[in-house]
Structure formats: structure tokens, C-alpha cells
Structure 1
Amino acid sequence: MPMLEPANTWTQGLDFPSRLFESGSNDYQLYEEDGEFVLSVELPGFDPAEITASWNNGVLNVAGEHEDETRGARRTYHRRFRFPKAIDEEGIEAEYRNGILTVRLPVTVEDAVSGTEIEIES
């Protein structure tokens, strides 16, 4: 009896199917300690002037665009982070060092951000 190959062998050699479902979630770390959220995003090769971070209505936007003229390549990065607690907008700090962007977001209230509770029917 012939040996059956795994069902996904038709995708071998084709980049499209594997890239379609790529999560890319290994490029950042987010944790909470000492009353603040700390976000570290790996952005190697970017110049600090090529990176923007903005806070808007409970969402942190991190974006970067880098053009490598010697290789004729362009890299872009964009990710949004929503936080479950109220943040002191005036106290947000960001630093880019050794290819890593670190953003510190101090929590103002220990309670979760207010909203409307949704009843779950069973």
C-alpha cells in the first residue's frame, strides 16, 4: 500500500497559503507591572524618525515605514493595541533603543474601562 502524504503537502513550495494565515504575533510583548502596561515591539533596522506611536480613545497605534534604498525594499509595520484599563494619557512614554520600541502606559484607575455589560443567554 502506498504511503499517504500529509494533507497539506500541496502547499509545499507555495508561499501564499502559509503566509495567508501567518499571525506575526511574535514581534511584541505586552505585560502589566507596577501600575502600568509595558509594550515592547521589535522593529530592527528602523530609524526612530520612521516610527510613530499615537494614542486615541483607548487605542495605541504603532506604525513604521522603512525604505532600504540599497536593496530597493520597503518595510512597513502597523499594529493597534486596545487596553482594558483607563490610561493616564499625559504619562505615556516611549523609547526606541537597540531595535526595540518600548511604550509605558500608566494605569489611572484599577477598574476595567467602563462599558455596558452584555447579558449572555443560555
Structure 2
Amino acid sequence: MPLPTGSTSSWLQNSGFPSRLFETGRNDYELYEEDDEFVLSVEMPGFDPEEITVSWDEGVLNIAAEHEDETRSQRKTYHRRFRFPKNVEDDDIEAQYNNGILEVRLPVLTGATTRGKQIEVQA
């Protein structure tokens, strides 16, 4: 029997499996590290800058937004949390919202990484 060549949703359509089971989720952000800082770009169209809240708490960046359109009786919300593997200079975090994109810059403390340990997997 040949393997399916179409998209996951098309070949699972009649199998009884939910196609979302095999999807990777929302891809509305990009995160990378450059010049000793993390740069996070998040697609958030339809919000005003004053509707967006960005907060930092012990290695976790929290982004929340809420927009209410009274003319259409609609409410739009957004909430994401991002955990960072290195210590960040929290006093120097900057956020800018432009053309539906929120960009957050998080400077990394030089030489500082969060500590951890390898966990043995038991058989």
C-alpha cells in the first residue's frame, strides 16, 4: 500500500483521527538571539499599543492583550508566555509595537545562564 502524498488533514480526513492532533500549533512568533540579546517578534494584528501588556517575572515573559470592538460586539484577546534559558537584564527589556508586530528585546546578562541538571531517565 503506497504512503499518502497529500497533506495530513486530507489523508486523515476519513480515518476518524482529529487532524489537529498532528499539527504543531500557532506559529505567530519568531524568537532568536543576536548580539547578546533575545529578540522576540510576535504577530498581533488588530491591537492598539495601549491594549498590550508585557511583563517579566523570573525568567518568564508574559504578553497579554485585549481589544473590544463595541460596534461589532466582539472581543479579541491574546495571551502567551515565554520562558528564557538565560538570565536577562530585566531593567533593560524594551518592547515596541508597529504595524501589528510586537518586538521585545531582552538583553542577556554576560556570562549568566540559568542552572539546571540532567535528569536520569529510569527504565
- Bucket of the pairwise TM-score, normalised by the shorter protein: 0.7 to 0.9
In structure 1, C-alpha distance between the alignment counterparts of 2:67 and 2:15, rounded to whole Å: 34
In structure 2, C-alpha distance between the alignment counterparts of 1:23 and 1:7, rounded to whole Å: 17
TM-score (norm 2): 0.78
In structure 2, C-alpha distance between the alignment counterparts of 1:19 and 1:96, rounded to whole Å: 31
1:115 matched to which residue of 2? Answer: 116
Question: What per-residue deviation string (whole Å, max 9, x for no partner) do you get for residues 98-117 of structure 1?
Answer: 11110000000345311344
Query: Identity percentage over the alignment?
Result: 61
Structure 2: 5+ residue runs without aligned partners? 1-9
1:89 matched to which residue of 2? Answer: 90
Deviation at 1:73, TM superposition (A): 1.1
Aligned-pair Cα RMSD in Å: 2.4
Deviation at 1:72, TM superposition (A): 1.3
Which of the two has greater strand per residue? 1
Structure 1: 5+ residue runs without aligned partners? 12-16
SS at match of 2:50: helix
Superposition pairs for residues 25-36 of structure 1, below 5 Å? 26-36=27-37
1:23 matched to which residue of 2? Answer: 25
- Does the Cα contact within 8 Å between 1:41 and 1:101 map onto a contact in 2? yes
